[in-house]
Structure 1
Amino acid sequence: MVSNGKKVVQMFVALALFLSILASATNVSAQDENVLRVQTEVEIATLDPNIATDGTSMEAIAALQEGLMTRNQEGEFVEAAAESYEVSEDGTVYTFKLREDAVWSNGTAVTAHDFVFGWQRLADPATAAEYSFILDTAGVKNAAKVTAGEVDKSELGVVAVDDYTLEVTLEIATPYFLSLMAFSPLFPINEAFYESTDGQFATSPETIISNGAFVLTGYTPAGATTDLTKNPDYYDVDSVSLDGLRFQVIKDSQQAVLAYQTDQLDVTNISGEQVTLFSADPEFRSVEQGYMWFISPNQLNENIANTDLRLAIGKAYDREVISNNVLKDGSLPAAYFIPQLLADGPDGTDYRDVAGRDLMSSNAEEAQAHLEAAKEALGTDSFTLSLLIEDTEASINVAQSLEAQIEATLPGVDIQIEQTPKKNRLDRMREGDFDLGLTRWGPDYADPTTYLQLLITDSSYNDARYSNEQFDADYAAIQTGDLVLDPEARFAKMIEMEKLALSEGAVLPVYQAASAVLVKANADQIGFYTTGTPRIFKYAVKQ
């Protein structure tokens, strides 16, 4: 119970925080009314395209930089830094002709060498980039060998034929290759500028240059605000209506709504009761996302390594309660791992419609039966498990519901919520310093492998430490083996793989996210996407 004195202190702290946000935002709006002010729930962790792993950082990077491809106003993938491209008959060699009017914000030309350097740095084991796997996912020749340290990065299948011709060689034809060329880990990096930053690359406006719609004018890593200004040297500057962008971190949704209502924000997320309150407002939007939220059960914990305990937890909570009563933002209860509306099968049917939606059902009786089996196998009647979450309002609310439901369904199981900033959560899960982790994954491209690859034994994102030889073998077959050129068999195998993983409690799905958003009536043309970068602001307007 919180005392009245503590309540007063908390109220003053919240008021002080809001006044700080208000003063900061007022300064920006007074300087330039054509700046789009966007709330984010977490900090921008990094602006280094090779290092960023979260959607918020990737949104900012995509505003600053461009790859070979980008999305147009209709959401289609079109040429960006590349003016055109050709593909060999067997689909394994892509030759990109770069536009000669593209320059970095320091006046240096954007060349094929910048892509070679950026990709080689991404693959280099010395960089320790978590997204290095994306090169192998794209099918780039020798990517896996380079990231494993087996061959030098110069052996990567990317070559600058000349300043404006880039040749990419793949191990095998990759259907979604071009869509990945719009993804931030594969953006170019100018080597001379990178070397000039003396190890401080992309940590301040002085240590980053842009080839995209905006340039960086205000930023500190994990800071509360990030400011961007229109890039006058951008080749397509005529398509950019905004004079700038401001990303503002406000984790509490009530404070965010207050800032929105007092015209200090143009775009904000809302959740819980606020969705009900604003659902009839003409500025309300519900945006379906590809993000899957799930519990990652760390199998380094000897109790969680027991399959029955994982399945007991995964069946103990009602997903509809979380979606409909806690979030209330259009998010879908998910007893599956691969989201709907991600990818179609060979006959054009959505993957989820074929694979089914009830792969890990909420069932109290089954949960209790699995718990009894776990107790017998592990020789104990009680389990105390921490649930690591990030300190956002939605995560806290969902975690509290999970805690209450799991403990009510499973006698002897004690869930202890541990909240921390998102970056710390990610670091701890990567290091294996957790029991259960409430986490999410957004699809990088429109294929089920963007999720399945998380569960490969050696995947850098396999926080659960799940390992199954059959799963690994099947993944090799659908990516580089004899199923690659058999769409029907490949599709069927991916369905089998998802069912296998969930039958063993590799992950415990919770919900497929939707975003409840308020967007000012005078703001428009923000691109919302379910794959790759979640939001793109190049074409946004503020009237």
Structure 2
Amino acid sequence: MALKSRLFVTTAAVLIATSGMVFADAHATHPVTGEALASDQTFTYRVGDESPSIDPGLVEDVDGAAVVRDLFEGLYNQDAAGNLVPGVALSHEVSDDGLIYTFTLRDNAKWSNGDTVTAGDFVYAWQRAASPALASPYSWYIELMSIENGAAVIAGDMEPSTLGVTAIDDTTLEVRLSQPLPYFPQMLTHGTTFPVHQATVEEFGNDWVLPENMVSNGAYVLTEFVPQERLVRERNPMYWDNDNTIIERVVKLVVPDENVALTRYLAGELDMTDVPAGQFPRLSEQYPDQAVSVPMACSYYYMFNLRDGASPEIQDPNVRKALSLAIDRDIIVNNVLAGGQKAAYTFTHWATAGFETPDIPMATMTQADRNAMAVELLTEAGYGSDNPLSIDLVYNTNDSHRSVAIAISQMWKQTLGVDTTLANQEWQTFLEARSNGDFEVARGGWCADYNEASTFLDLMQSESGYNDSKYVNPEVDALLAEAKTSANPQANYDRVEEFIAQDTPIIPIYHYAAVDMFAENLEGWPYENFEQTWYSKDLYKISE
């Protein structure tokens, strides 16, 4: 594998040290672009809710992952185009049979307390992530990586020490797979694979992630955390590439209301915020240099609760398919959202690397024909004007989710006579409700952990940790298992997408675009990175 090197800023040209802090001089210029750098290198951005965790072994949401990438560094990072570049690992070799990866680690990687980052730190972190004792919502990722004995360790049938990862010495990490996995290196930029400092975790238990306790190895350290308000990270002087980092302070603010956040952005309080639903056309006209929309590796969908004992109405596949057909996705993306999103009839995002969108019959029908079929299917299921269907739909608190839910509930009412009760929940409560099966229909959003179709479709696997519908189809399981060792898995992916359209355990609604406002003086954002994997260390602010 060829690793591209990132263009780094020359410290002597743009940074000066003052009182232990390093920051850009107002008169310094970027050595590559020649741009004058701002004296204040603070990056402030908005999120809608607090993340459940910033523990690499427990992180499960997009906003939490961004924090974890700043605080911790794994084997590899991504560059602005999504290509792998060295992190703690400088390179790796693969055995001829594709089952053994040997990583060579840099010898100058340090923890924030000065300890050396070693191969043993990765062994500990991966064993911890897979262990039943941690009960990580992302433990299944270790199994997805095909790491030897991963499934047995997660199930509690084998000890974590048997996981196929070994520290040959401090700078050599060996990983053994149960089967070849061509995209295995791409999976190593996910937080679940990042190292953690064993002594700190064992000393402080759950409190090891607090600012006063945390020891991390990323470009930044955690200096302040006020739940549901703000999280601050600052430059880590022990980071191996600290000299080439410009942004010195990163502030994450929790602002639930998108419109309030936009107002604060326009007032200069934020450097980045989401564009509220429906406002991109106006904002892109008023602020053409600030409003941005690019494809993003996420899919928006509704899921049905298919557990035993769940609401009988939605156990009927005809009911589920009727509800899917009756959603006019073009209205959702063009009128409700209007930010460059695309209507979805497959779960896998259309721009996923190597994926060719299969022919799903519903996608080529007119909405009038979809509506007619929806009425027919719901009538066959026994519902109509004399016996209307009633369902509950839950989503996490967010104005855009609310707008989409209202529009879809109106479509269901107008086309099918369905009565929909809408309910919103705070993010962590919502995640717990979905995981526990405390819903009938729930909003879902899945962002790729790596740029390959399996990152979406593996959620349809019966034992997937995020198969919150509890959809079970042995044929789908077999297709996904076979795809992992196939030289060309497209046919398997096509068939899985066909099963999703046929059985409708979920309703794909639209494929995301990242629709944001960026301060005019903020540079370095990886717009071309399909996963929108960003690192604060790669950003900088120019003098206005």
Equivalent AA in structure 1 for residue 187 of structure 2: L
Structure 1 match to 2:441? 436
CA distance in 1, matches of 2:469, 2:385: 23
CA distance in 2, matches of 1:38, 1:450: 27
CA distance in 2, matches of 1:127, 1:212: 22
CA distance in 2, matches of 1:388, 1:85: 45
Structure 1 match to 2:282? 277
Structure 1 match to 2:318? 308
Where 2:391 maps in the other structure, the secondary structure is strand
Cα offset, 1:532, TM superposition: 5.4
Asked if 1:426 is matched to 2:431, the reply is: yes
Structure 1 match to 2:205? 198
Cα offset, 1:537, TM superposition: 2.1
Asked if 1:474 is matched to 2:479, the reply is: yes
CA distance in 2, matches of 1:308, 1:535: 42
Structure 1 match to 2:535? 536
Structure 2 match to 1:155? 162
CA contact (8 A) 1:55 1:534 kept: no
Cα offset, 1:245, TM superposition: 0.5
Structure 2 match to 1:385? 391
Q: CA 1:323–1:485 in 2, change beyond 3 Å: closer, same or farther?
A: closer
CA distance in 1, matches of 2:229, 2:195: 27
CA distance in 2, matches of 1:50, 1:355: 38
Where 2:393 maps in the other structure, the secondary structure is strand
CA contact (8 A) 1:314 1:360 kept: no
Structure 2 match to 1:486? 487
Where 1:46 maps in the other structure, the secondary structure is coil
CA distance in 1, matches of 2:51, 2:245: 23
CA distance in 2, matches of 1:399, 1:535: 30
Cα offset, 1:341, TM superposition: 1.2
Cα offset, 1:515, TM superposition: 2.2
Q: Deviations over 1:450-506 (max 9, x none)?
A: 111111112121111111121112222223xxxx2432xx22121111111221111
Cα offset, 1:323, TM superposition: 0.6
CA contact (8 A) 2:343 2:509 kept: yes
Structure 2 match to 1:235? 240
Equivalent AA in structure 2 for residue 145 of structure 1: A
Identity %: 29
Structure 2 match to 1:505? 504
Q: CA 1:358–1:446 in 2, change beyond 3 Å: closer, same or farther?
A: farther
Matches within 5 A, 1:219-368: 219-220=225-226, 222-280=227-285, 281=287, 282-299=289-306, 300-344=310-354, 350-352=355-357, 354-355=358-359, 358-359=362-363, 362=367, 363-368=370-375
CA contact (8 A) 1:35 1:242 kept: yes
**Farther off after superposition, 425-434 or 465-474:** 465-474
Q: Deviations over 1:349-393 (max 9, x none)?
A: x422x55685596511111111111227x9982322111101111
Asked if 1:182 is matched to 2:192, the reply is: no
Equivalent AA in structure 2 for residue 198 of structure 1: G
Structure 2 match to 1:11? none
CA contact (8 A) 2:293 2:513 kept: yes
Where 2:109 maps in the other structure, the secondary structure is coil
Q: CA 1:357–1:219 in 2, change beyond 3 Å: closer, same or farther?
A: farther
Structure 2 match to 1:24? none
Structure 2 match to 1:451? 456
TM-score normalised by structure 2 residue count: 0.88
Structure 1 match to 2:72? 65
Structure 1 match to 2:180? 173
Structure 1 match to 2:494? 495
Structure 2 match to 1:397? 403
CA distance in 2, matches of 1:257, 1:189: 36
Match of 1:130 among 134, 137, 152: 137
Asked if 1:91 is matched to 2:98, the reply is: yes
CA contact (8 A) 1:332 1:511 kept: yes
CA contact (8 A) 1:63 1:214 kept: yes
CA distance in 2, matches of 1:97, 1:48: 25
Q: Deviations over 1:4-55 (max 9, x none)?
A: xxxxxxxxxxxxxxxxxxxxxxxxxxxx831101111222321101111110
CA contact (8 A) 2:51 2:64 kept: yes
Q: CA 1:146–1:355 in 2, change beyond 3 Å: closer, same or farther?
A: farther
Equivalent AA in structure 2 for residue 320 of structure 1: D
Cα offset, 1:65, TM superposition: 0.8
Q: Deviations over 1:86-111 (max 9, x none)?
A: 11112211111211111110111111
Aligned residues: 496
CA distance in 1, matches of 2:415, 2:398: 26
CA distance in 2, matches of 1:440, 1:485: 27
Cα offset, 1:223, TM superposition: 2.2
Structure 2 match to 1:120? 127
CA contact (8 A) 2:81 2:529 kept: no
CA distance in 1, matches of 2:73, 2:438: 35
Q: CA 1:504–1:73 in 2, change beyond 3 Å: closer, same or farther?
A: closer
Q: CA 1:458–1:380 in 2, change beyond 3 Å: closer, same or farther?
A: farther
CA contact (8 A) 2:81 2:528 kept: no
Where 2:315 maps in the other structure, the secondary structure is coil
Equivalent AA in structure 2 for residue 93 of structure 1: I
Where 2:207 maps in the other structure, the secondary structure is coil
Structure 1 match to 2:147? 140
CA distance in 1, matches of 2:112, 2:478: 46
Cα offset, 1:274, TM superposition: 2.5
Structure 1 match to 2:525? 526
CA distance in 2, matches of 1:417, 1:496: 33
CA distance in 1, matches of 2:270, 2:412: 38
RMSD over aligned Cα atoms: 1.9
CA contact (8 A) 1:157 1:169 kept: yes
CA contact (8 A) 1:286 1:514 kept: yes
Query: 5+ residue gaps in structure 1?
Result: 1-31, 345-349
CA distance in 2, matches of 1:510, 1:214: 37
Structure 2 match to 1:21? none
CA contact (8 A) 2:256 2:398 kept: yes
**Farther off after superposition, 250-259 or 315-324:** 250-259
Q: CA 1:312–1:111 in 2, change beyond 3 Å: closer, same or farther?
A: same
CA contact (8 A) 1:298 1:463 kept: yes
Structure 1 match to 2:31? none
Query: 5+ residue gaps in structure 2?
Result: 1-38
CA distance in 2, matches of 1:357, 1:333: 14
Cα offset, 1:76, TM superposition: 1.5
CA contact (8 A) 1:183 1:533 kept: no
Q: CA 1:151–1:334 in 2, change beyond 3 Å: closer, same or farther?
A: same
TM-score normalised by structure 1 residue count: 0.88
CA contact (8 A) 2:49 2:228 kept: no
Q: CA 1:458–1:102 in 2, change beyond 3 Å: closer, same or farther?
A: same
CA distance in 2, matches of 1:444, 1:453: 11
Equivalent AA in structure 1 for residue 534 of structure 2: R
